[in-house]
Chains A and B, each alone.
Chain A
Amino acid sequence: MWLFDRDLWLEVFATLGKNMFRTFLTMLGVIFAMVILMLLLGSSNGMSNGFDKVFAGTASNSLFIWSQKTSEPYKGFERGREINFRIEDATILKEQIPEIEVLAPRIELGSHRGKVAVYRKGRTSGSAVYGDYPEIDEITKKKLVEGRFLNKTDITDSKKVCVIGEETFKLLFDKNEKAVGEDIRINGVFFKVVGIYKPNNNINIDGENAVFIPFSTFQKAFGSGDRMGWMAISVNKDTPVPIVEEEIKKLLKNKYDISPTDERGIGSFDMSEIFNNISGFTMVLKGFSFFVGIFTLLAGVIAISNILLITVKERTKEIGVRRALGATPKIVKRQIVLEAIVLTAFAGLIGFAISVGVLTLLDYKFGSGEEFPFVDPMVSISQFLISFLLMVSLSVLIGLIPANRAIKIKPIEALREE
């Protein structure tokens, strides 16, 4: 097997080694091409990872539904009627639409996104106050800096506990004060703080200045009865969110006598849409990087072929001597092609090593950046292998050009004295 022929490799390395400088210059093109390809791929990977981090903690296949005012008259109702969801809607939806995995009802004190005065020892914060179920944590994850989030017992016992945002904490407490275990007052009712959360520096639906209390406690404390503000819903992974969204709306419109064509009666927000847009964007980015990189690589390999073509011309005499001494065309061809492969592979590996270094440096500098979505910029093994194999097969094809030129050299022409 010629692949393990030590002498063949020695021949190849001897020829490449005799003109180190030119060999190096020849490789430079491929090294750069490989660096560009790997950096592009690595950066787009980093970008994609960065977006993943931004959305970490938010279920991608989720949607939010809330009630609004109708915009069309229907079944004798006038337009502009205010719709209010009932808590039983949650049960009905869960029963009738099996694609729903998690449904977390929520109620808000005051108007939507409105501020409510929250007191503690003479301080006031204007915060949003939500009545929530612990399940909300499965749809939009809260990063807790202290204490815990709401749990099932809080609901069943209607405990007067609350989880506050960091911003709320700053407004109500001193910097080094311990908040967990302390009481705050909302609308004359006292709630004990059990946890503080930090904004996720990602998709932030609830804001940082907010107080979460158990849904059941909210009903009792503020007399909201069976009203419900909105629902956060996560959907079975295999079902597209818009389909479920339609089903839910149809069901609710029917229940609340809203015209099927009324776009305003029920508001909704499809989270998956954002995810799809972003993953589409990163896909395009990755594809583009690969495209650009591969063509750069092709240019690099063609440069190698070009140099080998010149080398073959220079080595005319040497090749002629070899032919006179019994080298068959096949041997000559194989050697030139092998030179192309070795040059390309070696340059590719150097380029790979450089780009891994650069990517590590980039990761070190920007990788943990909170403000820029750039996490863990690195190429995957398969990306590297595909590029590398593609590059080597290109070099074989392109190495055949100088190799065929070399075997066209007739020993007699090569040996003719000048």
Chain B
Amino acid sequence: MIEIKDLHKSYKMGSNSLHVLKGINFSVKEGELVAIMGSSGSGKSTLLNILGMLDELDKGSYELDNVPIKNLNETKAAQYRNKFLGFVFQSFNLINYKSAMENVALPLYYQKVGRKERQEKALKYLEQVGLKQWASHLPSELSGGQKQRVAIARALAAEPKVLLADEPTGALDSKTSYEVMDLIQKINDAGNTILIVTHEPDIATMCKRIVHLKDGVIIEDKNVEQVRAEKYV
């Protein structure tokens, strides 16, 4: 699903150049649930941004579902993001004046899906995350866990190839975190490929594979025995 070869990325900070990713080789197969771990500054967010086509790589290659991701203009990148990727953010990033359902329907709007079909699909995914009865509520009327579940429903709505989650539990207490992880595991059980960036070891152990980043290189890449989150819920 994801093929990364010899990926380099550096940022220019004035006259200095900051080499963040120093040759990453990394691949993800369909149906995997991968945790990308590392301390801050290890380059894990940069990696996710590149995977998410939010940032461009300097050197190396990146293929997503056998499509080379290279030299995309803004319009093409937006279309690929919409088609291939679902995003889950640490701070949910729901649009605060839109109801839960409208938020979930937004990626479908950009896919030019008809209004009725959009609403049906949005409701379907809200039901999947257990928030159907909250469909007409604004984000401000939802708890943190509920917001993140709406965000996950939104990421799923476009039926992406890969779900990218950047610290999805970073703003939640541990109980809510486990609930969200339980949801993510179930989505993964259904066959979805998911990448999670986290720095919490207990969250990482709930994935099937852990990739450790340090100073811009992968220092560890191992498959782990998945801890089911439902035990803690």
Where the two chains meet, the residues of A that have a C-beta atom closer than 8 Å to any C-beta of B are 6-7, 14-15, 17-18, 317-318, 320-331, 407, 410-412, 415, 417
Report yes or no: A326 in contact with B82, Cβ–Cβ below 8 A. Answer: yes
Report yes or no: A331 in contact with B97, Cβ–Cβ below 8 A. Answer: no
Of residues B78, B81, B87, B107, which shows the largest number of chain A Cβ atoms within 10 Å of its Cβ?
A: B78
Report yes or no: A328 in contact with B75, Cβ–Cβ below 8 A. Answer: yes
Contact of B93 among A14, A330, A415 (CB under 8 A): A415
Residue of A nearest to B115 (CB): A7
Is B106 in contact with chain A by the CB < 8 A criterion? yes
Chain B residues 48-95 with CB under 8 Å of chain A are 49, 52, 54-55, 74-75, 78-79, 81-83, 87, 89-91, 93, 95
Is B134 in contact with chain A by the CB < 8 A criterion? no
Report yes or no: B95 in contact with A412, Cβ–Cβ below 8 A. Answer: no
What residues of A have a CB within 8 angstroms of the CB of B81 in the complex?
323-326
How near does chain B come to A134, taking the closest CB pair, in angstroms?
75
Of residues B74, B82, B90, B97, which shows the largest number of chain A Cβ atoms within 10 Å of its Cβ?
A: B74
What residues of B have a CB within 8 angstroms of the CB of A327 in the complex?
78, 110
Distance in angstroms between the alpha carbons of A327 and B74 in the assembled complex: 10
What residues of B have a CB within 8 angstroms of the CB of A328 in the complex?
74-75, 78-79, 110
Contact of B110 among A17, A317, A331 (CB under 8 A): A331
Residue of B nearest to A413 (CB): B54
Report yes or no: B82 in contact with A415, Cβ–Cβ below 8 A. Answer: no
How near does chain A come to B139, taking the closest CB pair, in angstroms?
12
Residue of B nearest to A6 (CB): B115
Report yes or no: A325 in contact with B107, Cβ–Cβ below 8 A. Answer: yes
Report yes or no: B91 in contact with A411, Cβ–Cβ below 8 A. Answer: no
Of residues A15, A329, A417, which shows the largest number of chain B Cβ atoms within 10 Å of its Cβ?
A: A417
Distance in angstroms between the alpha carbons of A323 and B95 in the assembled complex: 12
Distance in angstroms between the alpha carbons of A7 and B98 in the assembled complex: 13
What residues of A have a CB within 8 angstroms of the CB of B147 in the complex?
none
- 26 A–B contacts, CB within 8 A, in A order: A6-B115, A7-B109, A14-B98, A321-B89, A321-B93, A322-B106, A322-B110, A324-B54, A324-B81, A325-B81, A325-B82, A325-B87, A325-B158, A326-B78, A326-B79, A326-B111, A326-B158, A327-B78, A328-B75, A328-B79, A407-B74, A410-B54, A411-B54, A412-B55, A415-B89, A415-B93
Distance in angstroms between the alpha carbons of A17 and B91 in the assembled complex: 24
A-B contact count (CB 8 A): 64
Residue of B nearest to A318 (CB): B95
Is B154 in contact with chain A by the CB < 8 A criterion? yes
What residues of B have a CB within 8 angstroms of the CB of A412 in the complex?
49, 54-55
Report yes or no: A324 in contact with B52, Cβ–Cβ below 8 A. Answer: yes
Residue of A nearest to B93 (CB): A321
How near does chain A come to B126, taking the closest CB pair, in angstroms?
16
What residues of B have a CB within 8 angstroms of the CB of A318 in the complex?
95
Distance in angstroms between the alpha carbons of A124 and B97 in the assembled complex: 88
Contact of B75 among A322, A325, A329 (CB under 8 A): A329
What residues of A have a CB within 8 angstroms of the CB of B55 in the complex?
412
Residue of A nearest to B91 (CB): A417
Contact of A329 among B78, B83, B109 (CB under 8 A): B78
What residues of B have a CB within 8 angstroms of the CB of A326 in the complex?
78-79, 81-83, 107, 110-111, 158
Of residues B54, B90, B97, which shows the largest number of chain A Cβ atoms within 10 Å of its Cβ?
A: B54
Distance in angstroms between the alpha carbons of A411 and B52 in the assembled complex: 10
Assuming A324-B52, A325-B81, what are 14 further A-B pairs, CB within 8 angstroms?
A6-B115, A14-B97, A321-B93, A322-B95, A324-B54, A325-B154, A325-B158, A326-B78, A326-B81, A326-B82, A326-B111, A327-B110, A328-B75, A411-B54
Distance in angstroms between the alpha carbons of A326 and B106 in the assembled complex: 9
Residue of B nearest to A330 (CB): B75
Distance in angstroms between the alpha carbons of A407 and B75 in the assembled complex: 11
How near does chain A come to B5, taking the closest CB pair, in angstroms?
22
How near does chain A come to B38, taking the closest CB pair, in angstroms?
16
Interchain residue pairs A-B with the least CB separation, the first 10: A326-B82, A326-B110, A412-B54, A18-B97, A328-B78, A328-B75, A321-B93, A325-B107, A329-B74, A411-B54
What residues of A have a CB within 8 angstroms of the CB of B74 in the complex?
328-329, 407
Interface code B20-61, partner A: CB below 8 Å = 1, 0 otherwise? 000000000000000000000000000001001011000000
Distance in angstroms between the alpha carbons of A290 and B158 in the assembled complex: 52
What residues of B have a CB within 8 angstroms of the CB of A321 in the complex?
89, 93, 95
Interface code B89-119, partner A: CB below 8 Å = 1, 0 otherwise? 1110101011000000011011100010000
Report yes or no: B87 in contact with A324, Cβ–Cβ below 8 A. Answer: yes
What residues of B have a CB within 8 angstroms of the CB of A407 in the complex?
74
What residues of A have a CB within 8 angstroms of the CB of B78 in the complex?
323, 326-329
How near does chain B come to A185, taking the closest CB pair, in angstroms?
91
Distance in angstroms between the alpha carbons of A172 and B164 in the assembled complex: 105
Distance in angstroms between the alpha carbons of A317 and B54 in the assembled complex: 14
Distance in angstroms between the alpha carbons of A320 and B81 in the assembled complex: 13
Distance in angstroms between the alpha carbons of A7 and B108 in the assembled complex: 12
Distance in angstroms between the alpha carbons of A412 and B9 in the assembled complex: 15
How near does chain A come to B50, taking the closest CB pair, in angstroms?
10
